[in-house]
């Protein structure tokens, strides 16, 4: 089983002909609500490939919270450890889209109410997991606590350091895999990539957008090229990569095979609209690999 500890958001997306100026009211073209949050997205990515997944997170006692729970249940994800905040509302991302440009405001809401005591209450899930996936859209102290719990239970951790500002380099010792994109990597370490890969062999996996990903096997730096495709919407590419990487690793693939698998899965995800919308099934990944 894979357990994801992380965020759930409802994305509120408005498409428009122009961004409103200060004090101006304009008419938009279209409105959509789309389930998101890096935690939920990565849980869906792993579950859609066919693995048993449980999610630990926090939503509000509101209709968005209910809707997000039910989306995960439809993906056969265990939602018993998604708690409801008595006071905060479900996290949202307000996304304005005009041409290829966007302006986004995230209100973490209930995601920032996920506490170490919630993790303690779900200790049984963590202890029986083959891998725990964590991102950083929850309080930093909760992430630190999660890492300690996994270490004590001997459960491998895949940590996707987004947003990078919430990462603590001291965690490197206890993390099994760290998967920043290039921007996050630069923000966290501020060191040349080759040096970092050498310093963290088989641990640091840097995603490079359409170029794929890099890591070091301890002897050589390895570049696993991305799968060339026409991207329609790259939202959630990293989330698909992470869910698929965790899936492949717990299925016993080598890191090299798993990174290749995750690149293929993520390339399929960018061909469709929205983060969760394009996440592939196992059959779709195998079909592309064939
Ligand atoms: P993030 O979405 O977190 O910013 P990246 O942009 O590095 O992360 O993308 C993560 C992974 O998604 C890449 O390693 C690659 O496998 C895949 N990917 C991203 N963009 C594309 C693209 N345009 N074409 C094919 N694969 C892509």
Predicted-complex ipTM score: 0.98
Calculated CA dihedral for residues 266, 252, 178, 287, nearest 10 degrees = -10
Span 71-113, pLDDT tens digits: 999 999 999 999 999 999 999 999 999 987 889 999 999 999 9
Residue 271, pLDDT score: 96
**Whether residue 210 has its Cβ less than 6 Å from ligand 1:** yes
Residue 100, pLDDT score: 77
CA 102 to chain centroid, in Å, comes to 20
How many CB atoms are located within 10 Å of the residue 33 CB?
Answer: 13
**Whether residue 204 has its Cβ less than 6 Å from ligand 1:** no
In ligand 1, which atom is closest to the CA atom of 262? 16
Active-site option among 174, 211, 233, 239: 239
Pairing of strands 131-134, 2-5: parallel
The alpha carbon of 270 and the centre of ligand 1 are apart by a number of angstroms equal to 8
The alpha carbon of 260 and the centre of ligand 1 are apart by a number of angstroms equal to 12
**Whether residue 201 has its Cβ less than 6 Å from ligand 1:** no
200, two tokens: 């963290």
- Answer yes or no: 174 catalytic: no
Distance from the first to the final alpha carbon of the chain: 27
d(CA 129, CA 134): 13
The values of phi and psi at residue 224, to 5°, are -100, 110
Low-confidence ranges of the chain (pLDDT < 50): none
Global model pTM greater than 0.95:
yes
Nearest CA to 179 among 248, 275, 77? 248
Residue located nearest, by CA, to atom 13 of ligand 1? 209
**Whether residue 233 has its Cβ less than 6 Å from ligand 1:** no
């Amino acid at each position: 089983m894979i357990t994801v500890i992380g965020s759930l958001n409802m994305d509120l997306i408005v498409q428009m002909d122009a961004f409103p100026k200060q004090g101006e009211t304009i008419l938009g073209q279209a409105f959509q609500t789309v389930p998101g949050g890096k935690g939920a997205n990565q849980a869906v990515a792993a579950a859609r490939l066919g693995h048993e997944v449980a999610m630990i997170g926090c939503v509000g006692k509101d209709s968005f919270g209910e809707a997000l729970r039910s989306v995960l249940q439809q993906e056969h994800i265990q939602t018993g450890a998604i708690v409801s905040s008595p006071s905060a509302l479900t996290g949202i991302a307000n996304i304005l889209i005009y041409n290829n440009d966007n302006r986004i405001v995230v209100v973490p809401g209930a995601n920032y109410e996920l506490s170490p005591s919630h993790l303690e209450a779900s200790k049984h899930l963590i202890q029986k997991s083959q891998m725990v996936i964590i991102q950083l859209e929850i309080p930093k102290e909760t992430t630190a606590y999660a890492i300690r719990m996994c270490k004590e239970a001997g459960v491998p951790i895949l940590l996707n350091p987004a947003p990078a500002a919430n990462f603590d380099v001291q965690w490197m010792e206890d993390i099994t895999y760290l998967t920043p994109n290039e921007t996050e990597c630069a923000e966290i370490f501020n060191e040349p990539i080759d040096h970092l890969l050498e310093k963290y062999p088989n641990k640091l996996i840097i995603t490079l957008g359409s170029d794929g990903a890099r890591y070091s096997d301890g002897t050589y730096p390895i570049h696993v090229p991305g799968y060339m495709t026409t991207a329609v919407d790259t939202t959630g590419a990293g989330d698909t990569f992470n869910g698929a990487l965790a899936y492949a690793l717990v299925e016993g693939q080598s890191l090299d095979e798993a990174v290749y698998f995750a690149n293929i899965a993520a390339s399929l995800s960018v061909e469709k609209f929205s983060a969760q919308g394009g996440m592939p099934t196992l059959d779709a990944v195998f079909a592309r690999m064939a």
